[in-house]
Chains A and B, each alone.
Chain A
């Protein structure tokens, strides 16, 4: 699904060079649920941004769903983002002046679906996160957990292959956080690959696989915890291969 080889990202400001990522290697298979951890400033966000085609990288290769993204222009990247990826942010990032319906609608508009198809997808997505009844409401009227669910619906509406989550539970209390995690796991169970950046070691443990980044490189500490999800992941990988 996602493969990075010898990836590097260098920031140049005036006369200072910062190597955010160097010799970065990662391979995420389809259907996996991978968490990414690391101390502050380790390059987690940079990795996520590059994975999400939000930023360009300096050297190395990045293949997303088999497509080599090196040298892609901005328009092509936007299109790829729109079709293949879904985003979930720590701050929800819903647009406050739009209703829930219109918020989920945003990525679909850029896709070029017609009105009927969009309506169907939006209702379906909001239904999946249990908020279909409040379609016409505005984000300010919802709790944090509900807002995050809407964000998830927005991420799902376009049927993405890969979901990228950046500290999705960071702004939520424990109860809400748990329900969001359950939702994510549900989504993963249905076949969507999930890549999640997190601080929380507890959450990191829940995933099938954890990638730990230190100083811009994947560290050797890769933990694998046998769990229910392993079996599912293997099943989906097999199905995709055949």
Chain B
């Protein structure tokens, strides 16, 4: 019977093309709006490294002054001072740890007539690559020894390498950056975690677009006094000069611990508290506020990475889908009401109420399938449009099997939901071979 009803459903779509087109279109647009905004929201708030996210931890210390401080208030900056970063690095807590800060500059061309290659990226510790599981195309990360030696080594992203060397393997070549020589030791394979959680820049929308093209050792960057591309917050008097900057209470660095297991977190927390206590004895950290540790998802939450605009979009689409649903109920009602005589005849010929219910419900499911078919390309279009327009998202999420499934599921269930009332109505028609008027 199912196949029979399915075929009836498909045939009835063709009987009134205008009505069918209207129904399918309305449903498709509603579903497309919901699916595209949902996907984008999910992508933006998704966990970029789910199998490890609870073992990667960001420490948040508060070195702010007591001036105007209300106990319990958030720290002035999410970054830390050079002094604290160096100390935490040296602590050897957890199997791995890294500092991160943003850098920007130009790679000198090999010939004077060639243009400068503008690059941007990160200054990190050698552990960075293993911690965040970056895939390598050629070569690998530098070693801890090279960290210690403040060596001139550099890792390129795949895009950056292709821009400069095409498809060739550039490992071993040299580049000149910030008046210093750097040897290429590795090239990353395509790596686009969404959001770019290892180093979040607030404000300029850095979380979701672009990628980091170069990686150099943190120690080297400090040695050659590579300026920071990011935000620096200084609350107190800073002694002039680079060393003065490093010694100051200005915060400008991001730090990550890796813990052995989720339970290891306690050990690191204890270390952090002990460290803060020591520093207080030296006269720092006057606020004595709580020293926090955040894992990846907690950190993304804390920073409010998902903008309220995205949440608004999702709510909007659901409201929109609701409208489309009500609209579909009306259209289905119209569609079924003109078939009253058909129902009467079928009933007279032996169909039970249940059979009529099945027939018409399957018919609405067919409408839902058609809506899903149309909704799929519309969802693509929707995601493209939203991603293009918003400054944030330059990586357009692709359509995977799950999204495909969700689109059809949403469309069919919305259609069936809308069809319940009209179908029930259709069943109420009394059996008759010829309908009497009035």
Tell me the A residues contacting B by CB distance below 8 Å. Answer: 91-94, 96
Contacts and interface: CB of A to CB of B under 8 A. Distances in A.
Interface string B410-438: 00000000000000000000000000011
Contacts of B438: 91-94, 96
A94 B438 CA distance: 8
Nearest to A96: B438
Nearest to B437: A91
Contacts of A92: 438
A92 B437 CA distance: 10
A20 B360 CA distance: 43
Contacts of A93: 438
A96 B438 CA distance: 8
Contacts of B437: 91
Nearest to A139: B438
6 contacts: A91-B437, A91-B438, A92-B438, A93-B438, A94-B438, A96-B438
B304 to A, nearest CB: 56
A138 to B, nearest CB: 13
Interface of B: 437-438
A189 B143 CA distance: 119
A9 to B, nearest CB: 25
Nearest to A92: B438
A96 B437 CA distance: 12
A57 B388 CA distance: 66
Contacts, number: 6
A198 B24 CA distance: 50
Contacts of A94: 438
Nearest to A89: B438
Contacts of A96: 438
A93 B438 CA distance: 7
A86 to B, nearest CB: 19
A94 to B, nearest CB: 8
A227 B117 CA distance: 117
A94 B437 CA distance: 11
A92 B438 CA distance: 9
B430 to A, nearest CB: 14
A91 B437 CA distance: 8
Contacts of A91: 437-438
A110 B437 CA distance: 26
Nearest to A147: B438
A93 B437 CA distance: 9
A184 B437 CA distance: 24
A159 to B, nearest CB: 27
Q: Which are the 6 A-B pairs with shortest beta-carbon distances?
A: A91-B438, A91-B437, A92-B438, A96-B438, A93-B438, A94-B438
A161 to B, nearest CB: 28
B434 to A, nearest CB: 14
Nearest to B438: A91
A45 to B, nearest CB: 15
B437 to A, nearest CB: 6
A121 to B, nearest CB: 25
Nearest to A93: B438
A91 B438 CA distance: 7
B4 to A, nearest CB: 35
A26 B438 CA distance: 33
B238 to A, nearest CB: 83
A51 to B, nearest CB: 23
A137 to B, nearest CB: 16
A142 to B, nearest CB: 12
A133 to B, nearest CB: 23
B340 to A, nearest CB: 15
B233 to A, nearest CB: 72
A151 to B, nearest CB: 11
A91 B436 CA distance: 10
B253 to A, nearest CB: 76
